[in-house]
Chain A
């Protein structure tokens, strides 16, 4: 990734730390996010060329809001038990869609780029969810937001160490996930 994705990718931190305290919760949120982002990207792809720049933002807002509301309602209807702790983060999905659209994520990155973002985010969500659920019963800190931050840091450090150990020559250019 060549562009500075600071803000849009920083937004992913919100659910990464907040919604990953149980494995199933993390999985549900990730699935909802991937699905909504996919539909949003497809629908925007259909109309983007015919819209002026200002209209694009409005279209993206409308799409993201309706898609997220529908996903929200469907999750409520079929998985209310898992919806409760996630309700706060459902609105964030719409924000994430609009921010990614605004930053040009859908126009600039082709399929591999999208899959990569979804894959990395999903992997982090699921591993964080699993680790936090596993040690949360013995160590309540792991279930809180600060504990989530620390674990995320440890996870990234472990990955960094692993990559460095595997190929010491490319240490300088280890990509940031």
Chain B
């Protein structure tokens, strides 16, 4: 390069650019973190009715290492309490859908009944499997109130598989994946109730 002024300007620009970027990053990192936390809280917690908890469930993980189940993986679990009593357990579940992985949040009350299921992340076929997204979701609400015992294991399947649940039209693989993930989560809760809620199961 035969242009010393140009080189000097370039070096100055690079220095200035990196400096400004660095300081902007420093200045916004805390705020971005807080925003992400708030957004995560909001998207996670609307699966629970607001009067159901008075703690910060996300600050109370009951386990952090992921657990591999029959058809899905549990990525995390949180405990919601109300006046010190456990009121719900939230399980983050990941299952394999038709296009990719589906992340669900499954809320279960201390008696093992399902309070709600919410899709956190999905990449299913738009117009078909993608109907699992959105909140509130009519199809996911068909699971509400069900537990591991009612219906029994053979009932926990799509009608196509001799079970008792309707499927999303044109999205058998997606519906089956979600259903099995929900069933997995309920079974896991049933088997680890004491550990998850911190109180022994009342037989």
Binding site for B on A (CB under 8 A): 47, 50-52, 54-55, 58-59, 62-63, 65-66, 69-70, 73-74, 76-78, 80-81, 140-141, 143-144
Contacts and interface: CB of A to CB of B under 8 A. Distances in A.
Contact of A69 (B2, B16, B24): B24
Given A52-B1, A55-B10, A144-B126, A77 B32 contact: yes
B31 A77 contact: yes
Interface of B: 1-3, 5-7, 9-10, 13-14, 16-18, 20-21, 24-25, 28, 31-32, 35-36, 39, 126-127
**Main SS of the interface on chain A?**
helix
B35 A76 contact: yes
Contacts of A140: 126-127
B7 A55 contact: yes
A145 to B, nearest CB: 10
A81 B36 CA distance: 9
Given A59-B9, A140-B126, A140-B127, A66 B32 contact: no
B126 A143 contact: yes
Contacts of A50: 3, 5-6, 9
A33 B125 CA distance: 31
18 contacts: A50-B3, A50-B5, A51-B3, A51-B10, A52-B3, A55-B1, A55-B7, A55-B9, A58-B10, A62-B14, A69-B21, A69-B24, A70-B24, A77-B31, A77-B32, A78-B31, A143-B126, A144-B126
Contacts of B17: 62-63, 65-66
Given A51-B9, A58-B10, A80-B32, 15 more contacts: A47-B13, A50-B6, A50-B9, A51-B10, A62-B14, A63-B13, A63-B17, A66-B18, A69-B21, A70-B24, A74-B28, A76-B32, A76-B35, A80-B39, A140-B126
A80 B35 CA distance: 7
Nearest to A64: B17
A66 B21 CA distance: 6
Contacts of A143: 126
B58 to A, nearest CB: 16
Contacts of B20: 66, 70
B36 A73 contact: no
A76 B28 CA distance: 8
Nearest to B14: A62
B171 to A, nearest CB: 13
A66 B17 CA distance: 5
A50 to B, nearest CB: 5
A50 B5 CA distance: 7
B83 to A, nearest CB: 32
B3 A73 contact: no
A72 to B, nearest CB: 9
Contacts of A73: 24-25, 28, 32
Chain A CB within 10 Å — which of B5, B16, B17, B20 has the most? Answer: B17
Nearest to B28: A77
A87 B98 CA distance: 25
